A and B are shown apart, each in its own frame.
Chain A
Amino acid sequence: MSDERDPVDASLRRLFAPPDLGGLQAKIAAAAAAAALAPVEPQREASPRRRRVWGTTIAATAAAAAAALLLSTRVQHSAAVFEPAADPIVAPVFGPREQAGAQLARFYVSGTALARLDDADCLGAPPIPEACDGSAPEPRLAPSDALEVIGECGALGGPTCDGYDLPAARLVQLRVRPQGPRLLVCVEPRDADPRPLLPDDSGLQLFRRELGAFILYEVTPLSDSLALELFSL
């Protein structure tokens, strides 16, 4: 039990006391009732193509019947659930893991070029960059003759990944030297592990490594991981 006299706790309670959610509960109950009248969706038994037709299958599911009940209110947000390709990261057919994997695969296929960082030189002369400070340890990539960093977002001191549809706070783009395929490595705190599942038809492989308080995933068209072992704390 927290102390009522604690100004921080008291402030949090003022700011984040849940509102009356009875209206929302009633809407969801109505949507569920409508969904119960619709045929049960055979999502998980669908053909491999289902991952490419997520948008169109949505309309056929029970949720579509429920949608009409909700679209009359809060159109702005709930409508997004039923928009297929415009912003597939909210496509509801998949679970969060599949969404995360789809985001990574889309990012890889898109060939989006991240900005190349002026790499924080952690071995250089002071002042030590923040990213190298022991108070904020981050997985660091060791120099390699086999791989070159071609872009990065989300590293301390660098641009954020907020402008991209990614399931990770940090992403490193690499290329196998000299003109080999591109690789992606995303880094997340262990407690925010997105556990992505790549789409079956992506043609990409996913490798995972735990490193301290972080989880690293490598997305690669190759059959082996090349980058993960190069990271250290």
Chain B
Amino acid sequence: MPADPNHPGSLTPAVFADSFRHCTPALWCIAAAVLGERTHAEDVLQEAAMTGLSKLGAFVPNSNFAAWMGQIVRFTALNHRRKLQRRAQSETASAAPDLGIPAPAPSSGADFDARTTAALGTLTEIARACLLLKTVLELDYGEIAQTLEIPAGTAMSHVHRARAHMRALLVDDVPTKQEQHA
């Protein structure tokens, strides 16, 4: 990648900080999506930001900052999640995710949220990211596509399929094993 610090479109630390500020919520959502939970999302985002800041020269001038930083966040979160999984596996043999979502009873908010978290874990990382960016931040598909470096149609497909899958798990019916892997 070109790394001319004098290029007008290159990243300076100040530009980095400003760009980071503008897309912090989206990047946080990506981190939470990859992790499948929110507890460590901010830590991951901070680590990713430091990674990005340490390699400004790798940024292609005039390219999309959110996409570049989003990819760093995804990889940082993946590394973090794998570490957590390895730690969990070493601590307990019963740490495997429970994909058997209990029967639907969307009456209690906390209970339903717990099931939502479990159901979210049955989606792919990219589907989770699309779903959260659309549902929580209400980004349009073009913005999601840019942030995740995927076609807008793919983002739309991920959102629709993820929503249908979540509703099937949480609202409509008890899932079959095959549906969980669909």
**A residues neighboring B (CB under 8 Å):** 1-2, 7-9, 11-19, 21, 24-25, 27-29, 31-33, 35-36, 40-45, 58, 61-63, 66-67, 70, 74, 76-78, 80-81, 87, 89-90, 92-96, 99-100, 130, 133, 135-136, 156, 162-163, 165, 189, 191-192
Contacts and interface: CB of A to CB of B under 8 A. Distances in A.
Q: Which of A8, A35, A44, A95 has the most CB of B within 10 A?
A: A8
B64 interface: no
Contacts of B109: 11, 14
B5 interface: yes
A87 B182 CA distance: 34
A42 B137 CA distance: 37
Interface of B: 1-3, 5, 12-14, 16-17, 20-21, 24-25, 28-29, 32, 38, 40, 42-47, 49-51, 53-58, 71-72, 74-76, 79-80, 82-83, 85-86, 89, 106, 109, 112-113, 116-117, 120, 124-126, 131-132, 134-138, 150, 154, 158, 163, 166-167, 170-171, 177-178, 181-182
Given A8-B166, A15-B113, A32-B13, A191 B53 contact: no
Contacts of B166: 8
A92 B80 CA distance: 14
Nearest to B6: A40
Contact of A70 (B40, B46, B171): B46
Contacts of A11: 109, 112-113, 116, 170
Contact of B3 (A35, A44, A130, A189): A44
19 contacts: A9-B135, A11-B113, A18-B136, A18-B137, A24-B24, A24-B49, A32-B14, A43-B55, A43-B58, A44-B2, A62-B54, A81-B54, A100-B75, A130-B177, A130-B181, A162-B82, A191-B124, A191-B158, A192-B124
A16 B117 CA distance: 10
Contacts of A135: 178, 181-182
Given A28-B20, A162-B89, A16 B50 contact: no
Contacts of A80: 47
Given A28-B49, A99-B75, A133 B178 contact: yes
A196 to B, nearest CB: 11
A165 B74 CA distance: 15
A62 B5 contact: no
B170 A8 contact: yes
A222 B135 CA distance: 47
A189 B117 contact: no
A191 B45 contact: no
Given A41-B57, A44-B57, A96-B72, A78 B50 contact: yes
A14 B113 contact: yes
Given A77-B47, A90-B76, A189 B126 contact: yes
B16 A24 contact: no
